Amino acid sequence: MHRPPRAAFVTLLATALIGSTVSGAGAAPVQVTQQAPAVLAPAQTEGVAPTAAGVGAALAAILKDPSLGPHHGIYVYDASRGKAVFSVGASTPYTPASTLKLLTTVSALATLGPDHTFSTKVVSAAKGSIVLVGGGDPLLTVKPSASDGFPTRATLQALAVSTAKALKAQGVTSVTLGYDASLFTGPAANANWEANYLPEGIAARTSALWVNEGRLSPHMAKRADSPSQVAAVAFQKLLVQYGINAAVPKPAVAPSTAQPLAVVKSPTLGQIVEYINLHSDNDGAEVMLRHVGIATGNGGSYVGGVKGVRATLTKLGIDISQARIYDGSGLTRANKVPLEALAGAVRVAASKDHPELRHLLTGLPIAGFDGSLAERFTTAGTSTGLGLVRAKTGTLTGVHSLAGMARDRSGTLLVFAIASDSVPVPKTLDARAALDRAAAALANCGC
C-alpha cells in the first residue's frame, strides 16, 4: 500500500529521539495526525545509563492497560552496556506468534551465513532426459514481476531459457522431464497448525520446489496441493515456448552423477531474511526452518528444523530451556517462548561479536514506515516511536507481541520484547495500541 512520505529517516542505530509525552493506561487507539521531522537529529553517544526504576516508571501506566489481559509482560535489555534493565511478567513463556520468526531467521543466518544462496537447477539424467531439481528457494517465481519488489527473484523463465540453449547446443529438442523436491523431507504441513490454515491459504505445504510460495496465482491465497508439480508444469510450458518439446513432468530423484545443464540462484540469505521479517512471511520462515535442519545435520523436516534451531540458539547464548518450539513461522499456538529469548535474537544480532547476523536488524519493520509496522504507531502516545522503533510484530487472535529495538534519548540502544497472549478479542486494537505506546515510551525514555 502506498503511503505519503512522512519524512526522511535513518536507522535506529544512528538516530536520536524526538520528545513527546506517552499517554496513560487505557488510552483509546484513536487515529491522530502525526508527522516525523524532515530530518532526525544525529544520535547522541551513550549518556546516563537507564535504570530499572526509570524504565519501570515510563512503562507503569501502559502495563496497567486492561486491554492487555491478565498474561502480559515486557523484557528490556541495555545493548549499549550488555545488561538486562527491566522486566515484568516475564517469568513465564508466551505464545510468540510471528515474533518467533526472529529465532528462525537468526538461526538461518548463523548456520548458513548471510551470503548463502539457494540453487534451482536442471540436470541431465540421461540422453533426452532432464530433471528439474528444487534447492529450497523460498522466493522462486515463474516470471519476473514488478509487483515482486525487493529482492530480485530467481525465475523459472530464466532457467528455461538457459536449459533450452544448453539442450539445443547438444542437438536435443525433445526431452522427458522429471522434477525432484526431495531436499525437504517429512510432512509438507505442520501437524500443529490449525485445520483451516491450508484450505484458507494462510500457509502452504512447504516444498523445496515451488513457485510463488505454492500459490496457484501470484499474490493470491489459494495454494497448490502439490507445489512441486505446479512448478514443474510451469517449467514444461516454458520449455515448449523456447523450442523444447517436453513430456508431462513426473516426480523423480536426480541421480547424484547427473550433469548440470542450467541453474538459477536465489537472492542472498541476508536479503531473504530481511524480506521474511519485513513482511512477516510465514512460508519463507518455514523454508528457513528446514534449511536450518539440513545445515545442522538434523534433516530437512520441520522436526529436524526445530532441533537445529534449538541447537543454534543455544550456541548463540540464547537460553531456550523454557521454550517450546514447533514451527518456524509462529503460526501454531503451541509455541511458548520466554520474552528474554525473543529479545535475545535481536541482542545477539546487535552484538559486535556477530556481524554475520546484522540482516536480522536491517530487516526489522520501521515504525510507521514499512512492512508490518507501516500502518502502526498512528494512535495517541506513539509519535515518539515513529521512524525510531524497529520491531517484528506478532499477531494471532488474542495474541499480540513486538520484539525489536529503540535508541532512547540518552543514546542507549534498548532491545525489548513485549507480549500478551490473553487479549480479549474486542480489545484487539486497544492492545495493539498499548504495545506501540510501550515501544514509543522506550524511545522517549531518558531514564
Catalytic site residues? 98, 101, 280
Q: Are 255 and 367 in contact (CB under 8 A)?
A: no
Give the Cα-Cα-Cα angle 285, 287, 291 (nearest 5 degrees).
Answer: 115
Give me 294's grid cell: 539440513
Cα 303 from Cα 308, distance rounded (Å): 9
Backbone torsions φ then ψ of 393, nearest 5 degrees: -90, 160
H/E stretch holding 177: strand 174-180
Kindly state the greatest CA–CA separation across the chain: 77
Decide: residue 331, CB within 10 A, 0-12 exposed, 13-18 middle, 19+ buried: buried
Cell reading at 162: 538457459
* 421 residue type, one letter: D
Taking the CA of residue 399 as centre, how many other CA atoms within 13 Å lie in the half-sphere pointing to its CB? Answer: 22
Beta strands 72-78 and 413-420, pairing class: antiparallel
345: nearest Cα among 410, 284, 244, 276: 276
> What count of other Cβ atoms lies within 10 Å of the Cβ of residue 134?
24
CA angle 379, 380, 381 (to 5 degrees): 115
